[in-house]
Chain A
Amino acid sequence: GEDVEQSLFLSVREGDSSVINCTYTDSSSTYLYWYKQEPGAGLQLLTYIFSNMDMKQDQRLTVLLNKKDKHLSLRIADTQTGDSAIYFCAGNAGNNRKLIWGLGTSLAVNP
């Protein structure tokens, strides 16, 4: 079945770049998403990429998609302490109604 995998933890220093990686199995996903969840809060959509694109940039965020390897990454430039959160990768399932979620990557930003 569909599966989305992420590394669980990432620690970076403030000002460095962060790269969060995700692999997925469902090649029919037309859109892939990155969500951010701060402690005790809901999930906030950060960005998305259409499956026929290989890169999308949005201010400090860069999404790279390697469709052949089914690999997605989120790069955060100049990481700040406010970026500390859990980041979830998600792709839409074949019927488009549901999202398939990764387990989330916990990003810790150290001053």
Chain B
Amino acid sequence: DAMVIQNPRYQVTQFGKPVTLSCSQTLNHNVMYWYQQKSSQAPKLLFHYYDKDFNNEADTPDNFQSRRPNTSFCFLDIRSPGLGDAAMYLCATSRLGQGVLRTEAFFGQGTRLTVV
């Protein structure tokens, strides 16, 4: 089945130790998003890739970076995780472009990050 897969489901990292979260998709969608979701809150968009074009949200801290080596994969790098970065990180994809009318996002199951 075509889907969005995030690995790992649970990640524990040490305070200040770089960590990378992974996302892959078989939907062949041209847009990939990273969201941060804290408990009882709505997902907060960190950034997205439109094809190879990186789009950062104005309030995303510099501590968060992303890479998209190809259409299928996207990575979220947290350079120096702090306690406040503990959250669920959600990857999503969309298909945008000429002739595409709906832009709903398809989500992975998320990676729960714990910082110790």
Min C-beta distance of B37 to chain A, whole Å: 9
Q: Which residue of B lies closest to A6 (CB)?
A: B42
The CA-CA distance from A42 to B90 in the complex, in Å, is: 7
Chain A residues, CB < 8 A from B43:
43, 88, 101
Kindly count the residue-residue contacts between A and B in the assembled complex, taking CB atoms under 8 Å apart.
57
Chain A residues, CB < 8 A from B6:
42
The CA-CA distance from A43 to B112 in the complex, in Å, is: 14
- Residue of A40, A48, A88, A103 with most partner-chain B CB within 10 A: A40
Chain B residues, CB < 8 A from A96:
96, 103
B1-52 at interface with A (beta carbon < 8 Å): 4, 6, 31, 40-43, 45, 48, 50
Task: Check if A99 sits within 8 Å of B48, measured CB to CB.
Answer: no
Min C-beta distance of B66 to chain A, whole Å: 15
Interface SS, A side: strand
Q: Which residue of B lies closest to A88 (CB)?
A: B42
Task: Check if A98 sits within 8 Å of B107, measured CB to CB.
Answer: no
Task: Check if A97 sits within 8 Å of B96, measured CB to CB.
Answer: yes
Tell me if B104 counts as interface (CB < 8 A to partner A).
yes
Tell me if A45 counts as interface (CB < 8 A to partner B).
yes
Interface size on A, residues (CB 8 A): 22
Q: Which residue of B lies closest to A86 (CB)?
A: B40
Task: Check if A44 sits within 8 Å of B107, measured CB to CB.
Answer: yes
The CA-CA distance from A96 to B50 in the complex, in Å, is: 12
Q: Which residue of A lies closest to B45 (CB)?
A: A98
The CA-CA distance from A42 to B48 in the complex, in Å, is: 17
Task: Check if A98 sits within 8 Å of B48, measured CB to CB.
Answer: yes
Q: Which residue of A lies closest to B108 (CB)?
A: A42
Q: Which residue of A lies closest to B9 (CB)?
A: A40
Give 15 A-B pairs besides A42-B6, A43-B105, A48-B102 with Cβ atoms closer than 8 angstroms.
A30-B101, A31-B104, A35-B107, A40-B110, A42-B4, A43-B43, A43-B107, A45-B105, A45-B106, A96-B96, A97-B48, A97-B55, A97-B96, A98-B48, A101-B42
List the interface of chain B (C-beta within 8 A of A): 4, 6, 31, 40-43, 45, 48, 50, 55, 88, 90, 92, 94, 96, 101-110, 112
